[in-house]
Amino acid sequence: DAGVTQSPTHLIKTRGQQVTLRCSPKSGHDTVSWYQQALGQGPQFIFQYYEEEERQRGNFPDRFSGHQFPNYSSELNVNALLLGDSALYLCASSLELAGVTGELFFGEGSRLTVL
Amino acid sequence: AQKITQTQPGMFVQEKEAVTLDCTYDTSDPSYGLFWYKQPSSGEMIFLIYQGSYDQQNATEGRYSLNFQKARKSANLVISASQLGDSAMYFCAMREGRGMDTGRRALTFGSGTRLQVQP
């Protein structure tokens, strides 16, 4: 049973460019969340997708957008890249009705470097 | 607003010894869950242990236990019999609310503690 998979694992962009990151959730999971983890910090919540709609959003600008497909996979898009967008982007999947514990399953992340 | 504080940027422990990683939290919601994750150099966040705010007993999972002191709002992770493979970043996280729809609730993470296990 494959866990959460993300691509690409590493990428380098220049300021002003756009980037798309991809995530396939754990089999059977219907909810995908994206987190940004800057170097030396804990992950910060970007947004969450369920039933192909953005359900909630953290404190991130509109340059960050996403999409969820009918097969539950998801994309994170970042426009007009800034140096400060350099980070590890983590995708996490879960079940909407995950029970009391509601464990999140994370991928290994996509490490973005903006030059 | 919910907040997680981890005051130990780095910790060293000798192999086979026990170590405690500190975590304090702040929330006004009486219902919440506390999590610990391990992040090795590969980047993946690995779930270790969960404690619910209404749980009467401290959670345990193998060599991991959570020292939950609700009045002090602390949720320290104790790793017994440390192994070289335990060297990693450790994050404390919290999710407010309770119920079957927990999958829709975001986690708030602390800044982490880097644990190094020495032979």
* Confidence (pLDDT) at A96: 67
The answer to whether A27 and A78 have CB atoms below 8 angstroms apart is: no
What pLDDT digit, counting tens, does each position of B10-66 carry? 999 999 999 999 999 999 989 899 999 999 998 899 999 999 999 989 999 999 999
For an interface test with A, the pick among B54, B100, B102, B111 (most A C-beta atoms closer than 10 Å) comes out as: B102
Closest chain A CA to residue B45: A106
- CA–chain centroid gap for A92, Å, is 7
Task: Kindly give, in sequence order, each residue whose CB lies less than 8 Å from that of residue A62, ignoring residues fewer than 6 positions away.
Answer: none
B29 DSSP assignment: -
Name the residue facing A102 among B91, B95, B109 (closest C-beta): B95
Instruction: Give the number of other Cβ atoms within 10 Å of residue A46's Cβ.
Output: 22
Q: Which two tokens stand for residue B104?
A: 């829709």
Half-sphere exposure of B107 (CA within 13 A, CB side): 35
pLDDT along chain A (115 residues), means of 10: 90 98 94 95 95 92 96 97 98 76 86 97
Q: What residues in chain A have their Cβ under 8 A from chain B's Cβ atoms? A: 30-31, 33, 35, 40-45, 48, 50, 55-56, 58, 88, 90, 92, 94-109, 111
